[in-house]
Structure 1
């Protein structure tokens, strides 16, 4: 039962806000560079930077520049970098075989980063959409996204990434049973220390638009993803999905998108007490940057406030495109 607060003036809650020192003493949550995972986009070639118009300040980087970016991130104390490939159109097929090619763009980048920056964790994405001519996270058969055949492909994709040296696999496809299948395959292949961060509560959201531009998936998508991504109206279902994925061998779970779903973050953390992450997705980033560009918001203050919201909601960490900028600000402010 909540205790009643003594009547004014004995209890003046403003006393604890009176100075920066006092505010610091009673602050309930804190943010550090170690709380952040930085999503980066890959492109083929060398010494290439491609700005993404719908995500101001974000670029696609060739592998050599991604390695430099990983070095910079590690120097700032960022815990992990997460890789997303921009796949050439000629490599997108019905069978999505490029997804498990040992020398695909993601696997090249994993090896290059681990060779030069071994201390930063490398996280990957497991879904077929970057390689699928249909733009979907799973195989499309007669207009339907098929589950079990997709899971078999995702297992091959995950094993290829583990062989390349990935530390954390991020299945984002939302197929049923894929966590258990990937975990069993990792154990069988001797990759017992590779962690899985499951996109357990990934909603069928309209906040992903700029991301699809970034990975070149916007134009190829046929239909929508409503049959496998979550209905934004549902909350209890997220808890069922998290419970299932943990039982199947997930080490960490994620809620995606982030800020519109802070209630889900809180419920997941309260219900399970496991490492819980949120993805501050491309649409969230783009909205903030658009408002900042118009002079309507203070960019640094809004960025930090948005990140702190995730910690307050119970998240252990955040995937955010703001990671380097936020980490630099934290370092400057001591």
Structure 2
């Protein structure tokens, strides 16, 4: 079976849950993942979204690192155009010194938010245009030799924190190939260009000091439960919550009234609702045996070398159990 040893955690905030409870849930999830054999867990940078608490991946990684011992911790990813490369190098250089051999740095080009919030972040809308140069500048800060004379990341220099390029289009795939870096495709919410992007990455890959051959990841949503009925119930709740997040005023970036469950369920069968649900069509749902089969099928279809799973169950307790059951399905425990 395809290697399935990695998790993407969005620090999801459930209904009625505080941000503190959601972040504590991420620590619990990482501890559970480490105990059952996962090798890495990444955190994604999102801003101004009521349902996601992972706006500061470096801070969250520091907290999780203090409560775990072995599992690798990284970003999935840091949205580099929101930040100065030197700042990111200092943050992840600090983490690499605190947790040697455990820190990874996934980089994305998108803002991780809406246009209004971009301005609040003081982001220049043209920043994405220099993403390739910014990646190389950051890479220099983390290596033994900076690309900017006289400017060093302290700490950071010489840590050689491994970089990963994340994306949902050909741009990221081609950049990862040109720089000889691992590539992770965001098929858990933007699946359309997956096969084309991974194929382009493999065809155009150039070996580098970090990597001598292509290494492609694909992401898969997972909801594993003790029974098929429970997994389907969780899946329905998750799809309804996604419709609320993407179509409800105030459920994502911006202000306004949140949708009720009944309103979201009415929207699920509209063209807009079906479009949102289709974004998340790569989802394994069911018991251990069913999830094992679906992981194998998606692994073969994706053409990826490894899978990253995003546990999408509605509550922390259900996500923790999904982590355990998926580890069993993937042969980790």
1:265 and 1:314 in contact (8 A); partners too: no
2:177 and 2:201 in contact (8 A); partners too: no
**TM-score, length-normalised on structure 1?**
0.52
Structure 2: unaligned runs, 5 residues or longer: 97-101, 111-127, 147-152, 206-212, 223-230, 241-283, 312-321
Residue 72 (structure 1) aligned with residue 6 (structure 2): no
Residue 290 (structure 1) aligned with residue 236 (structure 2): yes
2:181 corresponds to which of 231, 251, 257 = 251
Give the 3-state SS of the residue equivalent to 1:156 in structure 2: helix
Residue 279 (structure 1) aligned with residue 219 (structure 2): yes
2:30 and 2:41 in contact (8 A); partners too: yes
C-alpha displacement of 1:327: 0.9
- Equivalent residue runs for 1:51-90 within 5 Å: 51=14, 62-84=22-44
C-alpha displacement of 1:253: 0.7
> 2:254 aligns to what?
none
1:319 corresponds to which of 285, 308, 312 = 308
Give the 3-state SS of the residue equivalent to 2:8 in structure 1: strand
> 2:253 aligns to what?
none
C-alpha displacement of 1:159: 3.1
Of structures 1 and 2, the larger Rg is shown by 1
Residue 164 (structure 1) aligned with residue 130 (structure 2): no
Residue 117 (structure 1) aligned with residue 68 (structure 2): yes
Give the 3-state SS of the residue equivalent to 1:73 in structure 2: helix
Structure 1: unaligned runs, 5 residues or longer: 1-29, 44-49, 54-58, 90-98, 129-136, 139-149, 204-237
> For the aligned residues, what is the CA RMSD?
4.3
> 2:163 aligns to what?
196
- Equivalent residue runs for 1:11-26 within 5 Å: none
**TM-score, length-normalised on structure 2?**
0.52
1:288 and 1:299 in contact (8 A); partners too: no
Q: Distance in 2 between matches of 1:305 and 1:275?
A: 23
C-alpha displacement of 1:121: 0.6
C-alpha displacement of 1:172: 1.3
2:164 and 2:182 in contact (8 A); partners too: yes
Give the direction of change, closer, same or farther, for the CA distance of 1:115–1:291 in structure 2 (3 Å limit): closer
Q: Distance in 1 between matches of 2:40 and 2:173?
A: 22
